[in-house]
Amino acid sequence: MARHLGNVRENPGSVSYLSHEIRSLLADAVRDKIINEIKEAKYFDILFDSTPDISHTEQLAKVIRYVHFDYKINAAGYEEIIIQSLEEDDLNFLDCRAQMYDNAAVMSDSIIGYKQREKNPKAVFTNRDNLSLNLAGAHAASVDPALVTFFGTIQEVYIFFQHLQPLTVKKESDTRWSAIEAAVRVIANSYDELIKLFQYLNEDEIESADTREKAGNILKSLFFFFFFFFFFFFFFFDFVCFINFWSEILHKINIVQKCLQSPNMNLREAAADLDALEQDLANGRDNICAVSVQKGLRLAEKLGYFQ
């Protein structure tokens, strides 16, 4: 290890690989750590699976499942971890003047959270508004099965194209709503082209059976009218209206989110931006819905499904 570190310092721009001995030592350390946790848990499950490698030699994989308990993950436990971390860095918590944590109840709840247990009243607790906005959006997108299906379809489209370079369809994220906004916007702006593309891939005999099947399944999710004529308004507008609706909503959220991330943002402006966003969404809800339906109708006419 000393030779390895010395070589890295002397040749910072060169590629250096750990020796087999060092890798073995690191692997043994990880293995010992896992074994100790298994012994502490006492009860465990085992799974053995064999499969041939590229040389047709059977390789046996061993999997052990166990439950690892961390009894200190509560307000008192976090307090101990935080104070210990500061002490290790030779920092005095009494000199702290502000503190921020995630929105987990154990960290920020007004009754049992760590902020109620902190020992320095001058360390003012500041809420992470940007994270709170993310979590509010994530909750809004999970309260209805139709919304879960909608965002699941967005993810399926990304997965289908993820092997292509460069990517033209953005990956969505559970909590980073700027990424979700980008994913929805791309599909909203190129929806008719995507429909035609998936129809082509689904019917193209040159493509593999797996590709054609996946394209067909995504096509059903994007556009059910082609398959369920009598349920046209339910299935077609279920996705098309959502894509227009969420494209508008996420655009508004993303503007505020970027403002909250600005290094020049202050608490007064953050509160004003959040209040303005809430009022904008509340006052414009009916109009956004109506516009989304109208856009869906125009898109259907453009694709020729009303002819």
The phi and psi torsions of 210 (rounded to 5 degrees) equal: -65, -45
- Looking at the fold, whether 90 and 181 belong to one and the same domain comes out as no
Tally of domains within the chain:
3
- Looking at the fold, whether 90 and 234 belong to one and the same domain comes out as no
pLDDT band per the 50, 70, 90 thresholds, residue 104: low
- Looking at the fold, whether 137 and 220 belong to one and the same domain comes out as yes
Lowest mean pLDDT among 83-87, 167-171, 205-209: 167-171
Three-class secondary structure of residue 279 per DSSP:
helix
Surface-to-core class of residue 170, CB atoms within 10 Å of its CB (0-12 exposed, 13-18 middle, 19+ buried): buried
Domain assignment of residue 12, yes or no: no
Q: Which of 106, 126, 146 corresponds to the end of one domain?
A: 126
- Count Cα atoms within 13 angstroms, Cβ side, for 55: 2
- Looking at the fold, whether 181 and 250 belong to one and the same domain comes out as yes
The phi and psi torsions of 259 (rounded to 5 degrees) equal: -65, -40
Question: Which amino acid, one-letter code, is at 212?
Answer: R
The phi and psi torsions of 251 (rounded to 5 degrees) equal: -60, -45
- Looking at the fold, whether 122 and 213 belong to one and the same domain comes out as no
Q: Can you tell me the mean pLDDT for 68-75?
A: 64
Show the domain range for 62.
30-69
Which residues are paired to 62 by β-bridges? 48
- Looking at the fold, whether 147 and 280 belong to one and the same domain comes out as yes
Cα separation, 137 vs 180, in Å, equals 10
Which residues are paired to 51 by β-bridges? 59
Q: What is the pTM of this model?
A: 0.56
pLDDT band per the 50, 70, 90 thresholds, residue 109: low
**Parallel/antiparallel/unpaired status of strands 124-125 and 98-99:** parallel
Q: Can you tell me the mean pLDDT for 232-246?
A: 67
Asked if 125 contacts 99 with a C-beta cutoff of 8 angstroms, the reply is yes
Cα separation, 305 vs 307, in Å, equals 6
Model pLDDT, residue 165: 47
Sign of dihedral through CA atoms 183, 189, 191, 196? negative
- Looking at the fold, whether 137 and 249 belong to one and the same domain comes out as yes
Quote the distance between the C-alpha of residue 135 and its chain's center. Answer: 11
- Looking at the fold, whether 39 and 80 belong to one and the same domain comes out as no
- Asked whether residue 43 carries a pLDDT value surpassing 50, the answer given is yes
Structure tokens at 117: 């247990």
The Cα-based distances of 26 to 7, 18, 31 in angstroms read 19, 10, 9
- Asked whether residue 35 carries a pLDDT value surpassing 50, the answer given is yes
Q: Can you tell me the mean pLDDT for 115-132?
A: 69
Asked if 245 contacts 237 with a C-beta cutoff of 8 angstroms, the reply is no
Domain assignment of residue 47, yes or no: yes
